[in-house]
A and B are shown apart, each in its own frame.
Chain A
Amino acid sequence: MNFFNSGLFWFIEGIFACLVVIGIKIWMEDRGIPMPYWKWLLFGLWILFLGFTIAFIGTNIGEKEVTAAVKGGILFGLISIILGVGLWRLLLIKPKRNS
């Protein structure tokens, strides 16, 4: 059993995920941007896809499938970036203020 296969690894990943969520929450609060549940949901899905992309590249390098790592990295990486930019714009939407 290697560390990256272990329960401890996922425990630490869980702590990191919590810290990311807390960091984003505070960052958004500081800028007065509300984070309703649907924003968190979209953000969570994007994180999952990004995580998939990173793990996909790593797994294929581990399997010595370089073509898959490169092609998959480009394909899924591009999708992650495009979705990420779209999501970022969505997250930054502020409610209109009464003048």
Chain B
Amino acid sequence: MKSIKLNIGKKFNRRQFLKASGLASAALGSTGLGFFGYEAGKNPESYTGWENFEGANQSFNRKRKSVDHPTYEKIGSSQRPDARTEVIFQRRSLFMRQWKDDTGLEGLDDYLQEYYRKRPEDLDLDLYSMKELMPKMMSDSRKYRQKFILSNAWSNAMGAVSPRSTNEPPEKSDFPSRRRFGGPTEPEKMKSPELTSNLIKKIAHELGSTLVGIAKLNPDWVYLYPMRGRGFEQDKPIDVPKHWEYAVVVGTPMSWDPMYANPNYGTSNDAYSRSRIIAYRLASFIKQLGYAARPHTPGTSYDLMVPPILIDAGLGEQGRPSIVITPELGNNFRPAIVTTNLPLNPDKPIDFGVQRFCKTCKICAENCPSGAISFGGKVEVRGYLRYQVDTAKCLNFWNSTLGSMGCRLCVAVCPYTRKANWLHKTALKVSMNDPTGVSDWALTGLQKRFYPGPDPQKYYMPSLGGENASYREPPWWLKAEDFIEF
């Protein structure tokens, strides 16, 4: 016994103790890193979300990537878009109301006739949706209703609270109509546009907006002919009001887990509803300072095109599916806009490499079940060079799936739409700061091999040969079969 003790004492001297500690530390440190990684992947704090107030989620240093000109290019004389025909929801609803088989094209309003004559492929797609997809969707929805009870309930719940849409003309609705007791009778004299901008951004964050930016409003983005229900005379061009000088853009993300379980379990209603409420509250705040303000909000209460304004306001860049990609949320967000004459200091656009990355990547185009996203380059649209998505094909796919309305696969699969943890933030930094473009190729390759999705055909509803597949498993709280007795 004595000799063993002596042996141990002799062998286990200070140097050996330190060597053994080094070995043990290597083992413990590595295990700790594994747990750190696990936590970083699982922790809801990495779900880029709206819950974090005070603007903490708008974490990207935009000044370092700001540029003097937006990342879209003007190459011809610009034209303002016609909301009646070019906004797919507007066109479809007008078409469904007006189309009669016996009168055909002749029975439609003139501008619709003109549009379909120029784009007969859209007439085919709109007819296909009305005559084939909608009835099939109705019957499949009844058949597979049970699977999506909770996701439908959740989507409807998120859309249940919403401010009444602005449906009066700007000269009436935008100005503070009744001064509150003690409120301003004149617009307040603000000290400087810089200070006011800081204030407005802070208020937007306090109202729950994840992102906020300010742009000088370019009239090119205002619809030439209005959407219905916005207080404008139908079929009369919009005269861009002088008080729409600035656009304050707000945006919130769609909840992570349902978004990642697209197309069948996600919804846009959560972010729609949040951004909408924020925009109405912000407009109210501005009006109480005595200035004009008008909210333009999702789903279909806009007088202007939103994506280019997001770009002008420095929130992000246009991606291949034609929606805007931001450094913080990727394209997983839904914006709203407040136009105002409150003097503000516009932000600069940013360039963090999306234009170059999208050229190589094309993951959204490969995963888009409808073929709406182009594999090719940018095209000229109303005088601007940009990516264009085929909205009729896209909406037809929405009508080819069950569950809460929509698809959003191009959101879920995009490498920029990732959780805000060390891994994806590092990948973003590498891609952003690599002048050679080699990392675009490497990151895209890894993304395709490491994060594959189902065969796009499987996303379709069963009567169209699909399997109601989702990109990833739905969260436990949307699995109806675990909660409801069928």
Seen from chain A, the residues whose Cβ lies within 8 Å of a Cβ on chain B are 1-2, 4-5, 9, 12-13, 15-17, 19-24, 26-27, 30, 50-51, 54-65, 67-68, 71-72
A15-B41 contact given A4-B35, A64-B473, CB 8 Å threshold: no
Going nearest first, the 6 A-B pairs with the smallest beta carbon separation are A23-B22, A62-B41, A58-B37, A62-B42, A55-B37, A16-B29
B452 within 8 A of A: yes
Asked if residues B19 and A27 are in contact (CB atoms below 8 Å), the reply is: yes
A17-B423 contact given A4-B32, A51-B33, A63-B41, CB 8 Å threshold: no
Q: Smallest distance from the beta carbon of A11 to chain B beta carbons, Å? A: 11
- Chain B: residues with Cβ within 8 Å of the partner, total of 37
Q: Smallest distance from the beta carbon of B314 to chain A beta carbons, Å? A: 29
Bound Cα distance A19, B22 (Å): 5
Asked if residues A59 and B29 are in contact (CB atoms below 8 Å), the reply is: no
Q: Smallest distance from the beta carbon of A64 to chain B beta carbons, Å? A: 7
B234 within 8 A of A: no
* Residues of chain B contacted by A4 (CB below 8 angstroms): 32, 35-36, 38-40
A54-B37 contact given A17-B25, A64-B472, CB 8 Å threshold: yes
Q: Smallest distance from the beta carbon of A89 to chain B beta carbons, Å? A: 19
* Residues of chain B contacted by A15 (CB below 8 angstroms): 25
Please indicate which of the listed interface residues B20, B422, B450, B451 has the most CB atoms of chain A within 10 Å of its own CB: B450
Bound Cα distance A62, B47 (Å): 12
* Residues of chain B contacted by A24 (CB below 8 angstroms): 22
A54-B30 contact given A26-B18, A64-B473, CB 8 Å threshold: yes
A59-B41 contact given A19-B18, A26-B18, A71-B449, CB 8 Å threshold: yes
Please indicate which of the listed interface residues A56, A59, A67 has the most CB atoms of chain B within 10 Å of its own CB: A59
B433 within 8 A of A: no
* Residues of chain A contacted by B449 (CB below 8 angstroms): 71
Which of A30, A63, A68 contacts B42 (CB under 8 A)? A63
Asked if residues A67 and B30 are in contact (CB atoms below 8 Å), the reply is: no
Main secondary structure of the interface of B (DSSP, over half): helix
* Residues of chain B contacted by A1 (CB below 8 angstroms): 45
* Residues of chain B contacted by A59 (CB below 8 angstroms): 37-38, 40-41, 421-423
B15 within 8 A of A: yes
Bound Cα distance A95, B116 (Å): 83
Closest chain B residue, CB of each to CB of A14? B29
Bound Cα distance A49, B34 (Å): 13
B408 within 8 A of A: no
Please indicate which of the listed interface residues B38, B446, B451 has the most CB atoms of chain A within 10 Å of its own CB: B38
A55-B19 contact given A5-B40, A16-B26, A17-B25, CB 8 Å threshold: no
